[in-house]
A = this chain, B = another copy of it.
Amino acid sequence: MESQKSTDGLGLSRRSFLEGLGGFGGSSLLMAGMSALGFGIASAQAAPPTLTGGGGKKVVILGAGVAGMTSAYELSKAGYDVTILEARSFAGGRCQTARKGFTSTELGGETQVCDFDDGLYINHGPWRIPYHHHSTLHYTKEFNIPLEVFVNDNDASYVMFDKGKGPMAGKPVRKGEVAADIRGGAAEILAKSIKQGALDQQMTAADRDHLIAYLVKEGYLNNDLAYKGTDGRGFDIWPGAGVNPGPGVVKPPRPFVDVLNSDTWKTLGSVTNYEQQRTMFQPVGGMDRIAKGFEAQVGKYIRYSTQVKSFRQNDKGVEIAYVDGDGKSGTIKADYCICTIPLSVLRQMDIQVSPKFKAAIGEVSYALVGKIGLQMKRRFWEEDHSIYGGHVYFDDPEILTMSLPSTGWQSKKGVILGYYQFGSQAAKVSALSPGERQALAGRAGERVFPGYADSIEKSFSAAWHRIDHNLGGWAQWTDDGRANAYPTLCEPDGRLYLAGEHLSYITGWQAGGIESAWQQIGKLHARVHAA
């Protein structure tokens, strides 16, 4: 479910996820559960629960990220008395955008002050909104946040794989050429096999003919069922005016076995997995427009630069001790607490919860994630390569995904995402200084786009596992953790409700935080009204 499974160039299987689906309650159980909360299936994901009659009950919310601000926004509208304690001097949690003046100091690292030119930025946290994330889209609509299309797939962009064999290894190859050749070649093999009788026992003659017709269409096969290329691969000389260039000259296909051996087909799938499908969006001007949208509504409830020191509760209420921005200690009491602090941070804190709950908090690991934004002098990927947005896929695990900006088309400069790596590679790269990270990204890009390294003017990098108050990109549940610890944390512990992407199956996405918040405030509200 985590987003790196979808964006990397390695085509990690999603089958383990699919196979896991059978393990949980089916539709009827689900419907019953949702109905018990007083709202239907569709609305559970498309809109917040309808809450009325908060009656001034006090709720303290820990963390002004997307989950915390969602909770505060909906509860305050329903008449609850909410307060948010936020450790940082700004709201948004991981919903951040680095632009001129944005400052970050990773644990043990140098302070980086983003110095991109005006109008340029990198979304170093969440950066994409899938069309089916109704919850995130609910708020972009409610807060009038303009969206633009994020180009999440571009056949004109490159695959840069080193680990395959044969002549394609170590060279940038247009993804569309790979798709045409491998699918065309496979269609040819199957069509000819059918023609030679391979399926005579399994299928009727009519079905076999129909299947061949499909393969001819899919693979651009000729009348002899041979794949000889297609204009979808692009042209050596593009069609144009007059008789020269006239019809142009189509690029010839590569030998099937070369494409097979290159492993570049690992970037393909019959259909894009659901998290990465079109239409994908981004807010115009930066992902933090969403944070600002929430903050405009609930900023008045936020106490910034306020660090939680402890959480206590009894059957009457909760009490949180904190240190504020001036270094002064204080406490705040409330009827309930919604805690959106990442479990990677929460597990180190002094909180009064049951042993089982405490143990469950420790049962999840957090993703090591690194990203770097590179301000480029010139949009050479558009001007010289005709690539407008999309990703360049690497099998070098220190790079994995380079992403070309889906904004500022045809303008002078742009910010490229230079790498998006995970796990041990993210740990390794994050140990480098900001300058060394830039150099590493520059060397990789140079192999795809000559002149890339020299075009880099400035950079801003983030290693989420080294960022205070986050200590990781997102929760990574194991199957065992999902089965045992996760259900415990989805229920309140006394008067404490956890919320955040970590309490969803949409981890690593803002929708997970929002929908978790919706679910938990729904439960809290039902309890208040049952009391």
Chain A contacts to B: CB under 8 angstroms: 1, 11, 13-15, 17-18, 20-21, 24-27, 29-30, 33-34, 41, 44-45, 131-132, 134, 137, 140-141, 146-149, 151, 153-156, 176-177, 179-180, 182-184, 186-187, 189-190, 193, 198-199, 207, 210-211, 214-215, 217-220, 222, 228-250, 257, 260-261, 265-266, 268-274, 277-279, 281, 386-390, 406, 409-410, 486-487, 490, 503-506, 512, 515-516, 518-520
Contact between B278 and A220 (Cβ–Cβ < 8 Å)?
no
Contact between A272 and B232 (Cβ–Cβ < 8 Å)?
yes
Across the A-B interface, the 4 shortest Cβ-Cβ residue pairs: A183-B270, A33-B244, A232-B271, A149-B149
With both chains docked as a complex, state the minimum distance between the C-beta of A82 and any C-beta of chain B, in angstroms: 20
Contact between A137 and B410 (Cβ–Cβ < 8 Å)?
yes
Docked pose: A518 CA to B377 CA in angstroms:
30
Q: Given A199-B193, A243-B486: A207 and B257 within 8 A (CB)?
A: yes
Docked pose: A322 CA to B352 CA in angstroms:
91
Give how many copies assemble into the complex: 2
Please give, as numbers and ranges, the residues of chain B lying within 8 Å of A269 by CB-CB distance.
217-218, 220, 230, 232
With both chains docked as a complex, state the minimum distance between the C-beta of A362 and any C-beta of chain B, in angstroms: 19
Docked pose: A512 CA to B147 CA in angstroms:
32
With both chains docked as a complex, state the minimum distance between the C-beta of A188 and any C-beta of chain B, in angstroms: 11
Q: Given A248-B21, A274-B235: A44 and B240 within 8 A (CB)?
A: yes
Instruction: Select which of B154, B243, B245, B274 is within 8 A of A231 by beta carbon.
Output: B274
Instruction: Select which of B153, B232, B239, B270 is within 8 A of A180 by beta carbon.
Output: B270
With both chains docked as a complex, state the minimum distance between the C-beta of A381 and any C-beta of chain B, in angstroms: 11
Q: A186-B211, A243-B490 are in contact. List 6 more A-B contacts (CB 8 A).
A: A17-B247, A26-B249, A27-B249, A155-B277, A190-B190, A232-B270
- What residue in chain B is nearest A32 (Cβ atoms)? B244
Please give, as numbers and ranges, the residues of chain B lying within 8 Å of A390 by CB-CB distance.
278-279
Contact between B182 and A240 (Cβ–Cβ < 8 Å)?
no
Contact between A519 and B179 (Cβ–Cβ < 8 Å)?
no
